[in-house]
Structure 1
Amino acid sequence: MTTNLKEQVLTTFHHLHDHAEISWEEVETTHYIKQLLLDAGCQVSTFEDCTGVIGEYGNFQNDLPVVGIRADIDALWQEVDGEFKANHSCGHDAHMSIVLGVLWKLNQDPLLKDRVALKFIFQPAEEKGEGAITLAEKGVVDDVDFLFGIHLRPAQETPAGKASPVIIHGASSSLTAEIKGDDAHGARPHLGHNAIEIAAQIVNMIGTIHLNPMYPHSVKMTSLQAGGKSANIIPGNATFSLDLRAQTNELMEQLKEKVHLILDTVRNLYDTEIEVLSEGGIVAAITNDEAMDIMRKAIVNTLGEDGLAEPLITPGGDDFHYYKIHKPELKATMLGLGCGLLPGLHHPHMTFNREAMMDGVDILFNAILETYK
């Protein structure tokens, strides 16, 4: 591999972009990163029952605070130009490349290795909201004092050349359920329950949910499958999914309570069964002032005062915040990196300024130095 840091980061990015793997299937990605960590002098750990890899770097013998740097490694499964494929449209290929760049930058000064105790956490399955809690339960952050993450930000949120010291994600949740009934003839609607009408009633009722307007929140039906090829059959069965968003964890609990109350009401109103098949979600960010202050100084040291963006509040979610739920005393924050990202995250043709990855490398590197001052 070339010794030029920028070329190393770009080469790694292109490899990871071209070899995307979806959640829990990041086998080759894990192997690739593991080798790079070993080559850089890390002590490496993997897991027997899941993907992901941890690299320990530095001095863990002298009671130094342990700093974790986390990158998510999975891709989305989506249609790109008519073909379904694994696709890094959320920037995880960049996150991995940036975090590896931090490691390589540290290695440029051999004296630093004795002054730091770092855990490079390459986490699977962020897109499913499952990877962070899985690694947390395996004890990955039990000895970590500070945890830094990174995420590319859309141009609409954070302009190129700027960075935010924290991304204040909201909570998100999803619910999939099945309406269970009997089909009926189109001429005899009284002999069955129209699952489409029942789903429409749910849509209408979730539109009447009103919680504290000072905090963003929403519920919407995002999928509905009902009926077949015969237009004269009233479908008695349907499956549907709901997407829930709330800026705080407390508001999310209120939102979920309202949704379940609506489902109970519709069950009773139509005298029909509605079975919840799955339910899951991601917690909202819990901020830490000390970690944010370190990241703020690191941004200014790298980009200057003009490069410091305000704390970023976004309704999007990230399972990064499960680490702090698992370990409340953890001092954690996620860097929001402006990089000219267009047209938006999860767009099949998302693109960004590749040069901005070096800003991410330098900011996280400076955050490490600030932590050990």
Structure 2
Amino acid sequence: MNNTIEQRVMDTFHHLHNNAEISWKEVQTTSYIEGILKESGCTVRTFDDCTGVVGDFGNFNAGLPVVAVRADIDALWQEVNGEFQANHSCGHDAHMSMVLGLLWRLEQEKDLAEKVAVRFIFQPAEEKGSGALKMVEKNVVDDVDYLFGVHLRPVQEAEMGHATPVIVHGATRMYSGVIRGEDAHGARPHLNHNAIEIGAQIVNMLKQIHIDPLVPHSAKMTAFQAGGESTNIIPGNASFSLDIRAQTNEEMERLDTKVNNIMDALKDLYDVDIAINLIGEIAAAKLNDDAIDMVRGAIVDTLGEEGLDEPLITPGGDDFHYYTIKKPSLKATMLGIGCDLKPGLHHPNMTFDEKALQNGTDILYKAVKNVYSL
């Protein structure tokens, strides 16, 4: 790889890593990428009502297949070394950098501009599970034939120097919840129902859900707040969050029904108001052999046969798959990059081998060229 491009990718990664922004607030990230796209000769589109930016490179008037490459741009809000901040612990800074590296590779070969039609989608709010749907609403894939995504993989799933041509994500739903009751004096526990005990009941009942054991699934509470500074008050109110996952969309429906049934049962048992509100969801992956083959060949060309991993089935989720759900004819797959990522995705101190950025850039470049048989 050209050393200048390699350095630009690395510099871009460090800039994005140090200037992380959370979902729907990626204002500076959008502006930064917009500038790069324009400098590289792309036709650029931004949006009045949301963050995110799209750039078109190549010849869109010659009837060529349109290849889109998507990078997610938002960071997580989490505690890092005792302080809450926006943090790219899911690798979106790396994804943006690799996709920009692809653009620079294409731009470097001057004759390619007439032979390809590549759309770069820098999508907001993947962590909210809603950014892809917004981009669909903005018609960014209406004329797209192939769609490639990319995601770093933890060391438990892929080793450095390896890659998988498809990440088979599961479905995810995220709920916020409230328990509404009345407070009582600590000496009179018979006068109310302790919201903390109700929360414990929810946790215990979630553990007792049984659906098909051959399909990976989970349901768990991920946040709970109740009570205050006064230790002699039994709290009647609480707020909480739920994260539920299943490997298939069909099993997600069964799991979701059981979770809602638990809330209804406890609401009747304790005679309090328990309500959950869906705040985000992600669909399970829909696979396309044609797109997978394009990326499989690119991995072998880049890393050799020994670097090619089998399709990766993972309980993680990504809203990338809404593109194919909303446009079933789309030929899409997500490349998984092995990069010695530790301790894991979403860990506040996640690190990975930055040399993998070059591997990802090269694989994406060759996958795009494979579509056009170049």
Measured against the shorter chain, the TM-score band is over 0.9
Once residues 9 and 41 of structure 1 are traced to their aligned partners in structure 2, the CA distance between those partners, rounded to angstroms, is 18
> Structure 1 length as normaliser, TM-score?
0.97
Percentage of pairs with the same residue: 63
Provide the residue aligned with 1:11 in structure 2: 11
Once residues 348 and 223 of structure 2 are traced to their aligned partners in structure 1, the CA distance between those partners, rounded to angstroms, is 20
Count matched residues.
372
Provide the residue aligned with 1:326 in structure 2: 326
> Structure 2 length as normaliser, TM-score?
0.96
Give secondary structure in 2 for the equivalent of 1:190.
Answer: helix
Once residues 4 and 295 of structure 2 are traced to their aligned partners in structure 1, the CA distance between those partners, rounded to angstroms, is 26
Matched, 1:357 2:353: no
Q: Which runs of 5+ in 2 are unaligned?
A: none
Provide the residue aligned with 1:141 in structure 2: 141
Once residues 82 and 187 of structure 2 are traced to their aligned partners in structure 1, the CA distance between those partners, rounded to angstroms, is 40
Provide the residue aligned with 1:86 in structure 2: 86
Provide the residue aligned with 1:221 in structure 2: 221
Which amino acid in the other structure matches residue 116 of structure 1? V
Once residues 11 and 43 of structure 1 are traced to their aligned partners in structure 2, the CA distance between those partners, rounded to angstroms, is 24
Once residues 202 and 82 of structure 1 are traced to their aligned partners in structure 2, the CA distance between those partners, rounded to angstroms, is 29
Does structure 1 conserve the Cα–Cα contact (< 8 Å) formed by 2:128 and 2:280?
A: no
- 1:312-352 Cα offsets, whole Å, 9 max, x none, are 11111111111111111111100000111111111222111
Equivalent positions of 1:109-258 (< 5 A) are: 109-258=109-258
- 1:291-315 Cα offsets, whole Å, 9 max, x none, are 1111111101111100101111111
Once residues 277 and 164 of structure 2 are traced to their aligned partners in structure 1, the CA distance between those partners, rounded to angstroms, is 38
Give secondary structure in 1 for the equivalent of 2:210.
Answer: coil
Which amino acid in the other structure matches residue 55 of structure 1? G
Matched, 1:285 2:276: no
Once residues 154 and 89 of structure 1 are traced to their aligned partners in structure 2, the CA distance between those partners, rounded to angstroms, is 11
Displacement after TM superposition at 1:3 (Å): 7.5
Once residues 279 and 9 of structure 1 are traced to their aligned partners in structure 2, the CA distance between those partners, rounded to angstroms, is 34
Provide the residue aligned with 2:35 in structure 1: 35
Displacement after TM superposition at 1:107 (Å): 1.6
After superposition, the CA RMSD in angstroms is 1.4
Displacement after TM superposition at 1:278 (Å): 4.2
- Flag the 1:174–1:196 CA change in 2: closer, same or farther, 3 A: same
Which amino acid in the other structure matches residue 109 of structure 2? D
- 1:237-258 Cα offsets, whole Å, 9 max, x none, are 1112211011111111111100
Give secondary structure in 2 for the equivalent of 1:4.
Answer: helix
Which amino acid in the other structure matches residue 99 of structure 2? V
Once residues 103 and 217 of structure 1 are traced to their aligned partners in structure 2, the CA distance between those partners, rounded to angstroms, is 38
Which runs of at least 4 in structure 1 moved beyond 3 Å after TM superposition?
Answer: none
Displacement after TM superposition at 1:232 (Å): 2.8
Once residues 186 and 108 of structure 1 are traced to their aligned partners in structure 2, the CA distance between those partners, rounded to angstroms, is 71
Which amino acid in the other structure matches residue 173 of structure 2? S
In terms of mean alpha carbon deviation, does 299-308 or 190-199 score higher?
A: 190-199
Matched, 1:343 2:335: no
- Flag the 1:138–1:367 CA change in 2: closer, same or farther, 3 A: same
Displacement after TM superposition at 1:115 (Å): 0.9
Once residues 36 and 279 of structure 1 are traced to their aligned partners in structure 2, the CA distance between those partners, rounded to angstroms, is 33
Which amino acid in the other structure matches residue 97 of structure 2? S
Q: Which runs of 5+ in 1 are unaligned?
A: none
Displacement after TM superposition at 1:4 (Å): 1.3
- Flag the 1:279–1:77 CA change in 2: closer, same or farther, 3 A: closer
Give secondary structure in 2 for the equivalent of 1:221.
Answer: strand
